[in-house]
Structure formats: C-alpha cells, structure tokens
Structure 1
Amino acid sequence: MDSWPVLYRVDTKKKVVALTFDVANGRRVPLRMLSLLQEHGIHKATFFLTGIWTEMHPQVARKIREKGFEIGSHGYRHQDYRRQNNAWIEHEVKKAGKAIFKETGVRTRLFRPPGGDMNPRVVRKLRTLDQLIVHWDVDSLDWKLTDIYKIVKRVVPHARGGSILLLHACDPWYQSLTALPVILKKLRKKGFHFVTVSELMRMQRQAQAVGGSL
C-alpha cells in the first residue's frame, strides 16, 4: 500500500498537472467534455465515476475508457461517507467497483470520496479496502460558479508542478465546458503539460526509489 494516506498533489518541479473530472449526473456535459478534450489535444485525464451513474450511462462510461482516459471510482452513490458506518462504506465501494468493471472493464483502485468529504475513520476504512484516495489541491468550484473567469481564476494562478485539478463533467453544469478551453490555453501558455493521477504517482515513486527529487 502506498505511503501517502491521501494524495492532494505530488511535489515536483516539472510543469505537469493532472486534470480530474468528477462524473455523477447526466450525459450531455460528459459527452461534450470528451469532445472538448479531444479538440484541444488532451489525451490524459482522470475521470472519477459514481457506480450508479455508470450503470445509467454505460455507453458514456465506455467511451471514456475507449478514449484512453484513466478511470477512478467516486463511490456508488454521491453521499457523505462521514455520515455512514464502515459496513455501509465497504458495501458502497465494492458495489461501485463492480458496476464500473462491468461496464468498462476497469478494476478501479483510485478512489475519490463524494464531495471529497472524509475524516480519519473514513480514510482508514478506505485504505483497508486497498483504495488509493485522491483529493486535489486546486478546486475550480465549477459546480457552483457560473462566472467563467471566476472559475479560471480559481485554477490557473494556483496550479503548480504536480497539482491535481478538480473539475466536473456533470449535467447541468455547462459552465465547466466553457471554462475548460480557457484553462487549457492559459496553463499551456505557462508551460504546463497534462498527465493522469497515476502518472503523477509513478513519477513520485520513481524519484523516491532513487532518493532524488522530481
């Protein structure tokens, strides 16, 4: 099991960031998001899917996989794990994993608790289930903000090497679609490249193995 209890970012001087998208509702925005990423030449991103969404939109979930993007679990239902007991958490995690595997063929290990909500008990329980817990260090608040440039300002100035950026691909948040091209353009202008969460983690393991820094 990896040494970090929760991954917020990877400490690196390399200009790489991980785009992550939480998906829990609808199909229009998720499909358009996939098209946007393709249009802008983004081939690496990590999507965290809820199990129930995957069951409701299996074709979209499969398309995420077919496009080559990384898939993690966002639990079965989008509920606060802090309010539930450990047996409930275990049931939800396993149910989500089965749903995502059935539709995509991916056995998820990366896990983002719904809402990013967790406490030490939740973290301990998820780790006993062999889940790698992924949070973020840059939150776009694209689910809440409707002003595109407020979303952009929450991301671009705060992104640094090894950052994990939180965005969403959910109906009806079309503002995410409008903000993404601006974010991509500005980050690229600053010299950033885009990788998956697993690639960030692999970079850190390799650096630790040789006793150096990234």
Structure 2
Amino acid sequence: MDEVVNVNFFFVLKGKSVKQILLVVIAAFFTALFLFMGNLSLSPVFSTKDGPKAVYRGEKDIALTFNIGWGDEKAEPILDALKKENVKAATFFLAGSWAERHPDIVSRIVKEGFEIGILGYAYEDYTELEEANIEKDISKAKEAFRKLNIKDIKLLRAPTGHFDERSLKLAARSDYTVVHWSVDSKDWTNPGVNQIITNVNKANKGDIVLLHASDSAKQTAKAIPGILQELRNKGLKLVTVSEMIANGSVDSKEIK
C-alpha cells in the first residue's frame, strides 16, 4: 500500500512539473512573439528589390526634419527657436496644400537657408490610394511649389509616413527620393518637453530625426534648445537630408 501511494505521488508530482514547464515555455513563446511583432512594426522597410529606395538614415552627422501638414500657429515659433539657436541646417517637409496657404512662411524657410521637401499635397495615406491618385497627389504638390518659385525639390516624405512599393516607384518616376526617419521624437503626442528631448537624445550619427511644426506639436519649440544641447554634447553636426545623402552611404531595407 505504501508503495502504491509513493508511485501515485510520483506521477502527480511529475504531472505538475510538466504543466509548469509547459506554462513557462508557452509564456516565453508569447513574450518572444510579442517582442518580435513589436520590433517588426517599428522596423523600417524601405526598398524594392533592385528598385527605388527610401532613405531612413545615413552614415554620419545628423538631420533634423520637420513635417508641416496643417495649422497656422506653430511653424513660426519653431523657426524662431532654430534662429535663436543659430541652426543653419534642417529639412522641412511641407504639404503642398499647406504651402499654398502660407507662402510667407515658406518664403521664410527658404530665406533662412533650410531645405524643403514635399509632404505630398493633401496629406493622405498613400498606401490607401490608387496609383493614379498617388501620382496625382505628387504632381499637385510639385505644381504648388513651382508656383511658389521653389524648384528642384528632390525629397519626398509620404504624408502619413506610410508607403509601399507603388509609392516608391511613383516617387522615383517623378525624380524624388523618399525620406523616412530613424528616430521619432513623438512630439505630436505632446508628452512633455523633457520627454521630447529624451526621445531625440536616442539619436546618434547618421540618424534622421522626425519632428513636427504643425499645430499639433504644441511643445516642440520649447524642446528645441534642450534637443540641440544634447546633440551638441554628443558632438553631432547638423546637416540637411540632401547633405547627409551626398556625404556618405545611406541605409535602406527591402519591401517584400
């Protein structure tokens, strides 16, 4: 009788151990899957095989980029902050429809020596548009800047940051290089000036930093001095995206 009890206890204990091990393995699997999916969603995917590419980082220096798609209030305070900090190099991606409504601000951006790229025209998600409509949006943006006497723009950023193989090919057909980013300030979420500075402080040489000068970015102007101080502490030189492309190799990944 004692022997039978001991045997039963052994199998019960064995069963519990197996269940515990299985639970640990399953938990580890889903944790790994979660981390993988998180990294996958954040990983830039930026080229077609043997086709056009989108730039998301370079080899050296650092590029601050500002998106403006809408609003009347935040662009000039950000330009004021850059001027006060004696910043001579930055790239502004402007929606054509916004540029049409704010020619004076566009003129100031140009006069202060900053680079201009196109942020489409109507700020629509290119991955949700038919090819003909993507092409039309790019063409309308190009025409809007031509009327503002801003020529030879070579850079394009997908309006919502979303693009696919079609977008890359259509942009290349119009002689534009698509530019994404490697560091996101998340300034449009207004997480606080210190958090914006912390987010940008992840940047190192070769990074392209995403910032905004639309009215949603309520804290960006105040964050600029701290951002610049941190970048200077790292010895990073500010350049435009075009200068980054010209001065070294750039990274891209393949769109499947």
Instruction: Give the TM-score taking structure 2 as reference length.
Output: 0.75
Cα distance in 2 for partners of 1:8, 1:173 equals 22
RMSD: 1.8
| 1:91-102 pair list within 5 angstroms | 91-102=136-147
Q: Given the alignment of the two structures, is residue 153 of structure 1 paired with residue 201 of structure 2, yes or no?
A: no
Cα distance in 2 for partners of 1:163, 1:83 equals 28
* Structure 2 stretches lacking a partner, 5+ long: 1-50, 251-256
Cα distance in 1 for partners of 2:228, 2:149 equals 27
Deviates more, 1:105-114 or 1:41-50: 105-114
Deviates more, 1:115-124 or 1:63-72: 115-124
Cα distance in 2 for partners of 1:172, 1:163 equals 23
Larger radius of gyration: 2
Q: Given the alignment of the two structures, is residue 85 of structure 1 paired with residue 130 of structure 2, yes or no?
A: yes
Partner residue of 2:241? 197
* Structure 1 stretches lacking a partner, 5+ long: 208-214
- The one of 35, 53, 64 equivalent to 1:5 is 53
The answer as to whether partners of 1:6 and 1:132 remain within 8 angstroms in 2 is yes
Q: Deviations over 1:152-191 (max 9, x none)?
A: 12110x2111110000011142211111111111111111
Alpha-carbon distance change, 88 to 53 in structure 1, aligned in 2, over 3 angstroms:
same
Task: Give 1:125 deviation, angstroms.
Answer: 2.1
Q: Given the alignment of the two structures, is residue 26 of structure 1 paired with residue 71 of structure 2, yes or no?
A: yes
Q: Deviations over 1:74-102 (max 9, x none)?
A: 00011100000111111110110111121
Query: Residue type of the partner of 2:56?
Result: Y
Query: Residue type of the partner of 1:168?
Result: H
Q: Is the partner of 1:88 in helix, strand or coil?
A: helix
Cα distance in 2 for partners of 1:190, 1:4 equals 33
Q: Given the alignment of the two structures, is residue 173 of structure 1 paired with residue 217 of structure 2, yes or no?
A: yes
Partner residue of 2:84? 39
Cα distance in 2 for partners of 1:94, 1:4 equals 18
Count how many residue pairs are aligned between Structure 1 and Structure 2. Answer: 201
Sequence identity, in percent? 37
Cα distance in 1 for partners of 2:144, 2:212 equals 20
Cα distance in 2 for partners of 1:101, 1:22 equals 19
Cα distance in 2 for partners of 1:186, 1:160 equals 11
Cα distance in 2 for partners of 1:188, 1:104 equals 34
Instruction: Give the TM-score taking structure 1 as reference length.
Output: 0.89
Task: Give 1:104 deviation, angstroms.
Answer: 4.2
The answer as to whether partners of 1:44 and 1:69 remain within 8 angstroms in 2 is yes
Deviates more, 1:131-140 or 1:144-153: 144-153
Partner residue of 1:185? 229
